[in-house]
Every structure is written in structure tokens, then in C-alpha cells.
A and B are shown apart, each in its own frame.
Chain A
Amino acid sequence: MSDRDGLTDGGTATRDRSQSGRPDSPVVSRLRRTAGTWLFRLAYLVVFAFLLAPILVVVASSFDATGAVTFPPEALSARWYGELLASEAWTRAIRNSLVVATGTTLFATTLGVLAALGVRRLDDDLSAVVSALAVLPLLVPGVVLGVTLLVFFSEFGLQQRLPTLVLAHSLWATPLTYSVVRATFARFDWSVRDAALDLGATRPRAFREVVVPNVRAGLAAAALVAFVVSLQEFVMTLFLSGRDTRTVPVKAWNSLRNSLDPLVSVTSTLLVVAVLLVVVGAGVLVGLERLARDS
């Protein structure tokens, strides 16, 4: 925290007080200022700890030798990672998660890019309608979506299939890829592409050779967001998956409902590591600031 800190600027606090007719001595006002700064720091550090402490605890407990799921672990060991690899149910869940997340990434990114390209040419009112429609599914509670899709897809015997999960996850991933790609396109100077078109390039070629290289980071960020959304989605999948199509979060949920399975810590840790890699990757590609604002 620098001295730009608005809450801690005590020089003006003195002025404020003297205006209200209760001048404090410089010592008192300095104390006030220091106390205010530390209170503010303490408050946001508590929130920071609130957000991240659980994740640390999960990672630590995955290395507990006893499998008691306690913190801090009494003796460190990686034995539960071995147990995980030996468990067929868990490895299948991991495989399902990866397959669905990859499918969702490809599908949602394609839809998002196409729509973001198309919507540029619509007038403002129409593009607002398209954007609103695109974002709508994100606002429907997951339970309701899960129930709706279960009822609908079971009519055709399509529930409990991996492609169905891809479609369900895309319902939430597509609005995000669309928004990220739109934000990316808004920063691109399209006259460069128009120049390529004037020079005789076909539209696909101009897109491939002029647009893509310039917006690559944004497209990658969109794909990563889609991947993570699919990896962590759970309520819809709870309703739509069966014994053979469970993803990691659903398998973890089922284990948790029964007992505290140490393998939950292990898979949770793997999920956290995957997410960290993605956030770091996206941070390198487009910058954390932009990721924070676009997604």
C-alpha cells in the first residue's frame, strides 16, 4: 500500500477537523491516521485470508499421511496421490472432466468468436438484443437449469451422456467467451483488416492472417475461461451425469455427502493447481488486470 491511500491521508483529516471546530493536536491526528490505516489493512487482509485460507488448507490436507483430513497435517506423505491413481472411479472422473472441458472449450469458443464477429455489423439495438440473449443463461440458477435439461434431455434418452454435459457447460461458457472475445475485438484496429481486404485478401484469409495474430491473447483467454468454467461446473452436472459420466466435482460432492474421503483433498488440490496454471497463463497472456475486468 502506498501513501496514495485515500483512507489514510491524515493531513487532510486535520484540516477537516479544524473546520468542524474540533482541532486535534497533531499527535492525536497522527494516531488516528495510523489506527485507520492499520484497521483498513487488517480488514482487507481478513477478506484475503477468508478467500484463500480454505484453498491452502485443502492443499495441505491432501499431503496428510493419516488421511484424517485435518489441518495442519501431522505427517506429510504423497500416498493419497498414489491411491488416487489406483482408484478407477476417480481416474474415470478425471478423464470425464478433461473430455468435457476440452469439448466445451472448442464448442463455446467457436460460438463465441463467430457471434462476436457477427454482432459487430449489427446496429446498436440489435447487438444489445443478441448480447442480452447470449448472457441470459448465465443468470438462471444452476439447479433450475440442471432440472430443466434433465427433464428435456431424458425425453430423448440423452441424459447421462458426455456430449450432453458439453452442451450444458457451454450454456455458461459461451456467454463468457463471447464477452471476452467482444472486448478483445473492441480493442483491435479493424482498419488493418480492411486494408488487407482492399489489397485483395479473401475474408477468411484476412481473418486468419491479420486478425487472429493480433487478438491471439484474447482468444486464448476466452478458451481458458471456458475450460475452467467447465472444469468447476457442478450443479448442472450433478443432475445430468450418471455413474460413468461423473466429473470430478460431482464425484467429490458424492464422496463428501457420505464421508470425508481423503481423495477429495487430492482431487481438489489437482483442480486448484489446474486453475492456478490457467490464471497464471491468462495473466501472462493478457494481464491480470484485463482478466479481472473482462471476465
Chain B
Amino acid sequence: MSLAGATPGRLRRAVDDRSATLLVVPLLLFDLAVFVVPFGYLLRIALSERATAQAYVEGSWSVESFTYLATASNVHELFAFTLGFAVVATVVSLAVSLLYAYAMWRADGALRVVLTAGVLVSMFTAIVVKLFAAVLVYSPNGLVNDLLVGSGLLAEPLLLVNNGVGALLGQLYVIVPYSVLAVYSVLATIDESLLEAARDLGAGPIRTVRAVVVPHVVPGLLVGGVISFTWSIGAYAAPLLIGSGSERTAGIAVSDFLLQQFDWPVAAALGLVVTATVFLALVVTWLALSRSGVDTGV
């Protein structure tokens, strides 16, 4: 950049612009101190020897916690369950979100406001409140079963809590709002004249959705899928509160290893493996997106 012809104001601004970039430093320092360094510390503990009488052997180096994770069969079951749970939750969440976001997008006026407000209120409601409320609604003497049995549709109440179904329902309360908004933000960018064009060319409504809307909304589905999947991999509260105890996810196991078995190296290693799984899923999605030529916007 040539500064020769710059006015004093411009020159000063160019210098200021350089120093203005320093404004990102506080954020970076914060992330370093409260995120990067603590994770380094966690890695250090994961690489310590396990001990019986204390949390870990200070100053020691060992990979036995990772070896334990790689060989113990109950850890394998834990991971298989967590992955399966996350996949099912993601698929259901995406299906529901596509439907709801599409309704939000097609709606006008008051209906659109109501549908948008509904998803925002659910999103901003504390997870504990949503899970507690879900127990009230889905328990054997809750609202849903009262309606089903009371209206004569069913003779016996459905078992919707204290099992896998409950864990899944609870998890959906956590992820669906985010996934709806991810899909909606992409839908909102579709030029509606594309739909009219498709119809004018003779496509039926379902075909229009399949051929025009779905391909366009793929980035939104991917973002929604990533959010649903990563959050379900780390699921903790929903399976613990509305599951039965056999819905043990890796997140629950991390907490158990740390607080109940007092085995810090294994807790740390498991936490790192869970985080690595999440980031792996992100990288794979991102690569798939950029290879298919979709603008990831990141």
C-alpha cells in the first residue's frame, strides 16, 4: 500500500487500523487461559499413572489410561451406545427440524411470529427446566398418557420415561431448537421465485420440495446435524434424568470416573477422546462440504 498520496487523516487511520487488530487479543488471551491451558492440563493428567489411594500419581508419565480405554470391553459398549444414541438423535432431530423450519418459512404474518417465538423460547429455556417438564409430560401418569388413556386410544399408559425412549425425547429438547434454526437460516435464503419456476415447469409440491428445497437446504441440514451430533455425543443431563441408568453415555462415564471412582487419568483420557470424536466429526463434515463445493461460510 502506497502512503505517499495519503492525506494525514488517511495515514493516521492506516496506522490506527493496524493497532485496531489488537482488539482481538483479549478474546484470544481469555480462550488461552480458560480453554487451551486447562485442556493441556487435562492431557497432562491423562498421561499420568493411575493410582488407587489418590486421584493420580503426580509427576509420572504413562499411557495406561489410554490403553485401558482401548482394551476394556465396557468402554467399547459405552462408546457403541453413545455413538448409536447420537446418530438416532441426530436423524430424528433433522427430520423434525426440516419439517418445522419449512413450516416457519412458508408461514406468513402472525403464524410465522408464533412459530419463530416457539422455537426461540424453547431454545432459551434452561435445559433442566425442559427435562423436568418432559418428565411431567411423558411419565406414566403425565399429560400425554392421560390424553392417550383417557380418550380410550390406549388401555395401558406408554412407558416413555426411565428408558431409552425417555433419554431420546429429553435429548431432542436440547438439540431440536438449534437444529431448526440452522435449517431455517438457510431456507430463508432461498429465492421463492425458484419454487414458482419449478411449479410452472410442472413439478408437483412434493417434487418441488425434493428437487429445489432439499438440495438448497443441505448446508443447513449439515450444520444442524453437526450441532445435534456433537451435543448428543456429549449428552449428560437427558440420559441421566429421563433415562434408566442403563443409558450410560460417555459423558456420564467421564463424570463417574472423576467423582465416584476418583480415577482422574481415565476420566481425563475419556474426556479427551470424546472431544476428539466431536472434532473429527466436524472435520469430516467440513471436508465433505468443501469437496462438494458448498460454501461453508466459516
Footprint of B on A, CB under 8 Å? Answer: 1-2, 4-10, 12-13, 15-17, 19, 36, 40, 43-44, 47-48, 50-55, 57-58, 61, 69-71, 110-112, 114-115, 117-122, 128, 130-134, 136-137, 139-144, 146-153, 155, 167-168, 170-171, 174, 178, 194, 197-198, 203, 228, 231-232, 234-235, 239, 248-249, 252-253, 256-257, 264, 268, 271-272, 275-276, 278-279, 283, 288-289, 291-293, 295
Contact = CB atoms under 8 A, between A and B. Distances in A.
A188 B22 CA distance: 21
Contact of A143 (B37, B234, B279): B234
9 contacts: A15-B202, A55-B121, A71-B143, A118-B20, A140-B234, A142-B236, A198-B9, A234-B127, A256-B135
B282 A139 contact: yes
A12 B188 CA distance: 24
B199 A144 contact: no
Interface of B: 9, 12-13, 16-18, 20-28, 30-31, 34-35, 37-39, 41-42, 45, 96, 99-100, 102-103, 106-108, 111, 113, 115-122, 124-130, 132-137, 141-143, 146, 172-173, 176-177, 181, 184-185, 188, 192, 195, 199, 202-209, 213, 230-231, 233-234, 236-237, 241, 251-252, 254-255, 258, 264, 267-268, 271-272, 274-275, 278-279, 282, 298
Contact of B127 (A128, A132, A249, A257): A249
Given A139-B278, A147-B258, A256 B132 contact: yes
Contacts of A253: 128, 237, 241
B9, B12, B22, B117 pick with most chain A CB within 10 angstroms: B117
A134 B31 contact: yes
A288 B113 contact: yes
The residue among B184, B206, B255, B267 with the most chain A CB atoms within 10 A of its own CB is B255
A95 B22 CA distance: 36
A142 B240 CA distance: 14
Contacts of B271: 143-144, 147-148
Contact of A292 (B107, B173, B185, B298): B185
Contacts of A271: 125-126, 129
B125 to A, nearest CB: 6
A110 B298 CA distance: 23
B275 A111 contact: no
Nearest to B230: A139
A292 B184 contact: yes
A63 B174 CA distance: 26
Task: Say what secondary structure dominates the interface of chain B.
Answer: helix
Contact of A7 (B23, B118, B205, B268): B205
A201 to B, nearest CB: 10
Contacts of B126: 231-232, 234, 248-249, 252, 268, 271, 275
Contacts, number: 295
The interface centre, meaning the residue of B12, B41, B113, B137 with most chain A CB atoms within 10 A of its CB, is B137
A6 B205 contact: yes
A118 B115 contact: no
A114 B26 contact: yes
Contacts of B209: 6-7
Contact of B176 (A10, A43, A51, A132): A51
B24 A51 contact: no
Contacts of B132: 58, 252, 256, 264, 268
Contacts of A295: 181
Contacts of A44: 99-100, 102-103, 115
Nearest to A276: B121
A171 B127 contact: no
Contacts of A197: 9, 12-13
A47 B13 CA distance: 52
A151 B41 contact: yes
| Nearest 10 interchain pairs by C-beta | A141-B234, A54-B133, A118-B23, A232-B126, A16-B204, A44-B103, A118-B24, A152-B38, A115-B27, A143-B251
Nearest to B249: A143
A295 B181 CA distance: 9
B24 A122 contact: yes
Counting chain B CB atoms within 10 Å of each CB, the highest count among A2, A122, A148, A291 belongs to A148
A133 B27 CA distance: 9
B128 A155 contact: no
